[in-house]
Amino acid sequence: MVRLLIFLYSIFFFANITFAAPNVATLQGQIIDPNGQPVEGNSVNITVEIYSPGAEECLLYQEIHNLNMSNSGGLFTLKLGDGTQSGVDYEDTNTFSNAFDNSLGLVSPTTCDSVGSYTSAASDGRKFRLIVDDEVSDQFNPLLKIPPRFL
């Protein structure tokens, strides 16, 4: 399994989840393979996942971006919220903005690690995960979950 590393250069969101969430946020970074070479495939899929912050690990939102990274040096820019939404049955969190809306209260996504629902508190952040399919490997390669405080 090829493990990909991503170096996040600039991230312009998750500043304060208690305020209104953006409809779209920008994520920039670089994808480097284990040999230190930039990923430059002509069809690289990046899956963005937003999770609840606690041990319940509820998947609140998921979208996929397909990028032509030829001659990019591994550099990319994503507009989160503009990707192709994937997955189903997110119920109350059916948009990027709703995934950060702490005023929704109880939500019941169908994918939680430990319990079947998540009730947000006013100060809750979110967990963020990127999965990169670099077209070299046949598997999606999840990167570590990045707590919002590090973004």
Containing structural domain, residue 37: 5-150
What is the identity of the amino acid at 36?
Answer: G
Is 121 buried (19+), middle (13-18) or exposed (0-12) by CB count in 10 A? exposed
What pLDDT is stored for residue 22 in this prediction? 60
CB 90 within 8 A of CB 109: yes
pLDDT number for residue 9: 29
What is the per-residue pLDDT across 68-90, written as a single tens digit (0 to 9) for each?
999 999 999 999 889 888 765 56
Residues contacting 146, CB < 8 A, separation 6+: 8, 127, 128, 129, 130
Provide φ and ψ at 50, rounded to 5°: -115, 125
Q: Which ranges of the chain have pLDDT less than 50?
A: 1-19, 139-140, 149-151
- Total number of domains in the chain: 1
Q: Any idea what the CATH number is for the domain that residue 99 is in?
A: 2.60.40
| CA–CA gap between residue 107 and residue 86 (Å, rounded) | 18
Task: Please count the helices (runs of H) and the strands (runs of E) in the chain.
Answer: 0, 10
- Any residues with CB less than 8 A from the CB of 137 and at least 6 apart, and which? 1, 2
